[in-house]
């Protein structure tokens, strides 16, 4: 890439067969500084970046990066999960350790099931994982007869799948593979909406990019405009919601017991605990504050809204007073949040 993060070839006159001058940038990255015009072959042709996905043929585009206002360095297939390459990688994400964590369904096994033509064995979308055992029951083509499989390994796979028919809400949301929604964001969404039903209803309403549901989504601390738009666009796509509807017939996302109360007096505020807490542990205080929609920080700054100071509070309390940040003791904090 160039110094501005632009792709090596796109937008620059670098041709196939060119000699280039390369320097070591950032101690690691080989950066193309320039070409050597005198050594360019007479028949050198400009490199044409593909504008279609090599797998499904859909358009491949460079999107505008909303943070920089520039085109992204990468090109992305616009077909979504209807592209076979994206679909198989989505399945691998779905069964990964931090998502559904289905033992016995690794990358190699996902490829095997995805490419299989027999409908009794094929896994094309996430719901197919949970119907595999039923489909195999009446099938002539048995999984146990394939190389690398046996009765024991098949039984273990079915057991692993069935163990995941109930799953934590944040893991379910993460497993959906929504762009920009990682583990941390999935936890924020789970705590904010509490149940999958409430989450999906709100996301469908937010899909228009306006209205109360859209505003609520954007007001979640840690959810920016880029993430909010990606979530809304995901639920605006009928193919995605159809797959989820089939998935929900097979699995149950558990309600998040730490749902955030956005109506609390500390919702959206940044708080800092310092000194000794006498009526709760520091972990209990943090969990309670977060459940009420507050963000707990370990340091005091101009962005801090409240400092809760117990006996022995030192530099953090002093800094809060210097910055004019609201301070209170533990009893005042408990009174504010209702115990």
For residue 129, with 0-12 CB atoms within 10 Å meaning exposed, 13-18 middle and 19 or more buried, which class applies?
buried
* pLDDT, position 11: 59
Residue 261 belongs to a domain: no
Give the Cα separation of 289 and 287 in Å (integer).
Answer: 6
148, 186: one domain: no
pLDDT value at 66 more than 70: no
pLDDT for position 122: 94
> What's the confidence (pLDDT) of residue 221?
76
Task: Report pLDDT for 259.
Answer: 64
| pLDDT given for residue 2 in this prediction | 39
Distances (CA, A) of 289 to 70, 282, 306: 39, 11, 11
Retrieve residue 280's tokens.
């709760």
Does 145 share its domain with 182?
Answer: no
Provide the pLDDT for residue 124: 94
Residue 46 is predicted with a pLDDT of 81
- Which of 223, 214, 213, 220 lies closest to 182, judged by CA? 223
Mean pLDDT of the chain: 89
According to DSSP, the residues that pair with 34 across neighbouring strands are 21
Asked which of 205, 230, 254 is the last residue of a domain, the reply is 254
Name the domain boundary from 188, 220, 254.
Answer: 254
Rounded percentage of the chain residues whose pLDDT exceeds 90: 55
- Check pLDDT > 70 for residue 9: no
Q: What is the CATH number of the domain that holds 104?
A: 1.10.150.20
Average pLDDT over residues 274-287: 89
Task: For residues 224 and 295, state if they share a domain.
Answer: no
Residues 279 and 318 in one domain: yes
Residue range 178-190: average pLDDT? 91
**Structural domain includes residue 264:** no
Q: Answer whether residue 92 is part of any domain.
A: yes
Which two tokens mark 165? 């028919």
Residue range 158-172: average pLDDT? 97
Structure tokens at 224: 């920016």
| Within-domain flag for 74 | no
What are the DSSP E strand ranges found in the chain? 20-25, 29-35, 60-61, 76-77, 166-168, 252-254, 270-274, 295-297, 306-309, 326-328
User: Does residue 170 sit within a domain?
Assistant: no
CA dihedral 67, 70, 72, 76 (to 10 degrees): 100
130: left (phi > 0), else alpha (psi -120 to 50), else beta? alpha
Q: What tokens appear for 71 in the block?
A: 């085109």
What per-residue confidence (pLDDT) applies to 3? 39
pLDDT at 255 over 70: yes
CATH of the domain at 326: 3.40.50.10190
Residue 78 has pLDDT above 80, yes or no: yes
Of the candidate ranges 64-73, 102-111, 155-164, 204-213, the one whose mean pLDDT is the lowest: 64-73
Helices and strands of the chain, counted as H and E runs? 13, 10
Q: How many residues does the chain have?
A: 339
Q: Count how many Cα atoms sit within 13 Å of the Cα of residue 286 in the half-sphere of its side chain.
A: 9
Please tell me what DSSP assigns to residue 71: B
Distance separating alpha carbons of residues 177 and 90, to the nearest angstrom: 6
pLDDT beyond 90 at 47: no
Q: Does residue 148 sit in the same domain as residue 88?
A: yes
145 contacts 200 by C-beta, under 8 angstroms: no
What does the pLDDT read at residue 319? 95
Q: What average pLDDT does the segment 98-127 reach?
A: 95
Q: Name the nearest CA neighbour of 148 among 99, 108, 196.
A: 108
Tokens encoding 149 = 């499989």
Residue 139 has pLDDT above 90, yes or no: no
Smallest CA-to-CA distance from 105 within 164, 59, 63, 55 is with: 164
Same domain for 217 and 287, yes or no, is no
The domain boundary, picked from 164, 193, 220, lies at 164
pLDDT exceeds 70 at position 257: yes
Q: 245 with 307, same domain?
A: no
Number of domains in the chain: 3
Same domain assignment for residues 181 and 245 = yes
Residue pair 126/243 in contact (Cβ under 8 Å)? The answer is: yes
- Residue of 66, 62, 129, 135 lying closest to 101 (CA atoms): 129
In a domain, 15, yes or no: no
Say whether both 250 and 288 belong to one domain.
no
Same domain, 141 and 214: no
Domain that holds residue 198: 176-254
């Amino acid at each position: 890439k160039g110094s501005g993060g632009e792709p090596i070839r796109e937008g620059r006159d670098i041709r196939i067969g060119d000699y280039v001058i390369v320097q070591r940038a950032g101690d690691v990255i080989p950066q193309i500084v320039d070409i050597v015009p005198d050594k360019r072959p007479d028949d050198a042709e400009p490199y044409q970046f593909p504008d279609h996905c090599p797998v499904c043929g859909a358009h491949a585009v460079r999107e505008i990066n909303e943070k920089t206002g520039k085109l992204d360095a990468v090109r992305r297939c616009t077909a979504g999960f209807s592209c076979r390459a994206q679909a198989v990688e989505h399945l691998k994400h779905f069964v990964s350790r931090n998502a559904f964590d289905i033992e016995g369904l690794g990358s190699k096994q996902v490829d095997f099931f995805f490419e299989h033509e027999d409908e009794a064995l094929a896994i094309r979308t996430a719901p197919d994982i949970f119907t595999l055992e039923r489909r195999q029951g009446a099938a002539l083509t048995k999984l146990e007869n394939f190389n690398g499989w046996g009765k024991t390994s098949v039984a273990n796979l079915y057991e692993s799948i069935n163990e995941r028919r109930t799953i934590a809400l944040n893991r379910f949301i993460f497993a959906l593979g929504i762009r920009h929604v990682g583990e941390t964001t999935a936890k924020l969404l789970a705590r904010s909406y509490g149940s999958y039903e409430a989450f999906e209803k709100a996301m469908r309403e937010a899909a228009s990019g306006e209205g109360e549901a859209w505003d609520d989504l954007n007001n979640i601390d840690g959810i920016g405009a880029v993430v909010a738009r990606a979530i809304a666009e995901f639920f605006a796509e009928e193919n995605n919601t159809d797959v989820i509807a089939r998935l929900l017939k097979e699995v149950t996302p558990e309600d998040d017991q730490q749902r955030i109360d956005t109506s609390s007096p500390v919702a959206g505020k940044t708080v800092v605990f310092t000194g000794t807490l006498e009526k709760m542990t520091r972990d209990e205080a943090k969990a309670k504050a977060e459940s009420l929609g507050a963000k707990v920080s370990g340091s005091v700054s101009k962005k801090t809204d409240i400092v809760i100071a117990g006996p022995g509070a030192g530099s953090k309390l002093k800094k809060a007073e210097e910055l004019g940040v609201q301070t209170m003791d533990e009893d005042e904090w408990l009174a504010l949040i209702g115990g």
